[in-house]
Amino acid sequence: MSFIKGKNIFFISSELHNYTATIKKEMEAQGAYVYHVIYKKKSRYFQLLRHLPKIKKKLENRIVRNAVKKSKNTNFDYVFIIRGGMLNPETILSIRKHSPTTKFILYLWDSISENNNVLNLLSSMNSIISFDILDCEKYGFKYLPLFYSKEFETKNIINSDNQFEYDLSFVGRDHSDRYKILKQIKLQAENLNLRIKIYLVISKLGYYKRKIFDSKNFRDANKDDFYFNTLTLSEISNIYKQSRCIIDIEQKVQTGLTMRTFEILAQGKKMVTTNQHIKKLDIYSPELISIVDRNDVKLDFNFIKNPLKTKYNIEKYSLSNWVKNIFLIANA
């Protein structure tokens, strides 16, 4: 049963590394008419506005309100918001006036500690869903983990040993203590004669800010340790395909499982992760997932090198099922 076939959805999000464009396509594939407004784009202009938060918030709300006006006589069945901490009451009211019977759905892609402005929105929402386990327990949100998209589907093909270019790989943005942890992992990997690929992304401005203000995690950082351009989902998928085992490092303050978790598992790969909460995942297995202490990383050579013998079915975490579950929860 599809709750969104033939329905009008006003979809509010930032660009989120092309993931939201993929979500839009999936909602359309399930029969919805999607009006997607991106309130924050990956442009130099928006990067500069990060240092002027009041102006940035006004601009982002104006973008959403203008999109509502442009939709004219379209009545929205659902307003689906991802993150949304920047929205103010006036913007929510303008949408309510436009579509009085619409259902507001908020999906929290970050933990509340990283996006606490969103607390002002909670009373305006019909459904609040989060990827963060502890936030769901604390605030009574509905829990729904993230997903993998079709770029990462391999039907759990298990690579033969000679197909791997890397024993370990990591692709992701720099934040908190990621660089510090990856440095430990790289040193251990080299001592164990393991081949490792690290693609750690940061902006040039972000690099210099961390060098100045975060000596604890960035004291020995070198520009050569980073990349200043992001990869496409297809390029990330190709690195994963060439890897025996993928590294996952969640933000220190979050308990939700990262997108990388499901992308890795969708490709039939093993994972080394710092996220202790992954034990709650229904397909958790020590053969598949190695959990390490972020403060004292110790790589398990045998885990990394031993071939994966079991096929794990994680279809329930596909984007298609994620979209269905969002609207199933909203209509419960």
Pair of tokens at residue 181: 């942890």
For the chain, domain boundaries: 8-147+318-330, 150-313
DSSP symbol at 252: T
Question: 130, exposed or middle or buried, with CB in 10 Å at 0-12, 13-18, 19+?
Answer: buried
* Assigned CATH topology for domain 150-313: Rossmann fold (3.40.50)
Question: What's the alpha-carbon Rg for the chain, to the nearest Å?
Answer: 21
Confidence (pTM): 0.87
CATH 3.40.50.2300: does it fit domain 8-147+318-330?
Answer: yes
Cα torsion angle, 209, 210, 212, 213, sign: positive
Fold agreement between 8-147+318-330 and 150-313 = yes
User: What pLDDT sits at residue 42?
Assistant: 60
pLDDT in tens, the chain (332 residues): 689 999 999 999 987 777 899 999 999 999 999 999 988 666 565 566 566 677 778 888 989 999 999 988 899 999 999 988 888 888 999 999 999 999 999 999 988 988 888 898 899 999 999 999 999 999 999 999 999 998 888 754 545 556 789 999 999 999 888 999 999 999 999 999 999 999 999 988 888 888 888 877 787 888 899 999 989 888 998 999 899 999 999 988 788 898 989 998 998 899 999 999 999 888 899 999 999 999 999 999 999 999 888 878 899 999 999 999 999 999 98
Return the closest-CA partner of residue 79 out of 1, 2, 4.
Answer: 4
Return the closest-CA partner of residue 244 out of 159, 150, 148, 154.
Answer: 159
Do the beta carbons of residue 15 and residue 40 sit within 8 Å?
Answer: yes
Segments in the chain forming alpha helices (H): 19-29, 44-49, 53-70, 89-98, 133-139, 178-191, 204-213, 215-218, 233-241, 259-266, 301-305, 319-330
